Amino acid sequence: GAVVSQHPSWVICKSGTSVKIECRSLDFQATTMFWYRQFPKQSLMLMATSNEGSKATYEQGVEKDKFLINHASLTLSTLTVTSAHPEDSSFYICSAMQREGPQETQYFGPGTRLLVL
Amino acid sequence: GESVGLHLPTLSVQEGDNSIINCAYSNSASDYFIWYKQESGKGPQFIIDIRSNMDKRQGQRVTVLLNKTVKHLSLQIAATQPGDSAVYFCAEKSGGYQKVTFGTGTKLQVIP
């Protein structure tokens, strides 16, 4: 199947700093990518839908000015957590949508663990 | 923020036995369902999917059953192996919407 990568796989930062996470579709083009957040022992919660060449669509309750999303190319979306605080510590997972005719399949990245001190 | 004391439902199964993981969904408009497997510290991995015009689909060692009347989905794993130990999520998608909504998850523990 198709491969999605994330970088970094883990990051530790100080409170108040910004952290950028990259999501890449390695062997296919993805006009649509998704960003999820997962707290321990919980399910994945969709944060936003990232569309190539246009603004991201954020889910209710997700601050767009805090979680900046840029989908600059067909293989790359970035999530920047601005002015990170300890409560932003979580597992961030992206997925990329592969379209083959009428079939749409989401492939997930390996996740990025963020710890804010 | 992080919830303290929240535990995933856990299913413990003897190696070699069959496992059945259940999922209830709420959106009657959902027409596409997916099961994902998530190992510790990793992203979800696609297992099998089913469209709402079907009630059963089989893959390699896995079967998904869909009961639209009671909005229930199940994943059956035959001859469960230690490598099947993971958290399993059902997910749903409704026509015209790209986003996938995840269920709460079930932790499968395989006892050797």
Q: What is the pLDDT of residue B89?
A: 96
Tokens matching residue B5: 């004391």
Confidence label for A6 from pLDDT (cuts 50, 70 and 90): very high
How far is the C-alpha of A77 from the C-alpha of A6, rounded, in Å? 10
Residue with tokens 């709460």: B104
pLDDT at A3 over 60: yes
Cβ of B44 within 8 Å of Cβ of A41? The answer is no
Residues A105 and A3 sit within 8 Å (Cβ to Cβ): no
Residues of A in contact with B88 (CB under 8 A): none
Read off the pLDDT of residues A69-99 as tens digits, 9 standing for 90 and up: 999 899 999 999 999 999 999 999 999 998 8
Confidence label for B45 from pLDDT (cuts 50, 70 and 90): very high
Residues of A in contact with B105 (CB under 8 A): 42-43
Question: Could you tell me which residue, B55 or B6, shows the higher pLDDT?
Answer: B55
Q: What is the pLDDT of residue B97?
A: 66
Tokens matching residue B77: 């794993």
Handedness of CA A107, B93, A99, A74 (dihedral sign): negative
Q: What is the pLDDT of residue B95?
A: 65
The answer to whether A83 contacts chain B (CB < 8 Å) is: no
Tokens matching residue A30: 């993805």
End-to-end CA distance of chain B: 36
Is B83 in a helix, a strand, or coil?
A: helix
Cβ of A43 within 8 Å of Cβ of B89? The answer is yes
Handedness of CA A51, A54, A55, A59 (dihedral sign): negative
Read off the pLDDT of residues B1-32 as tens digits, 9 standing for 90 and up: 333 345 679 999 999 999 999 999 988 888 89
How far is the C-alpha of B103 from the C-alpha of B99, rounded, in Å? 13
Residues of A in contact with B98 (CB under 8 A): 32, 49, 97, 104
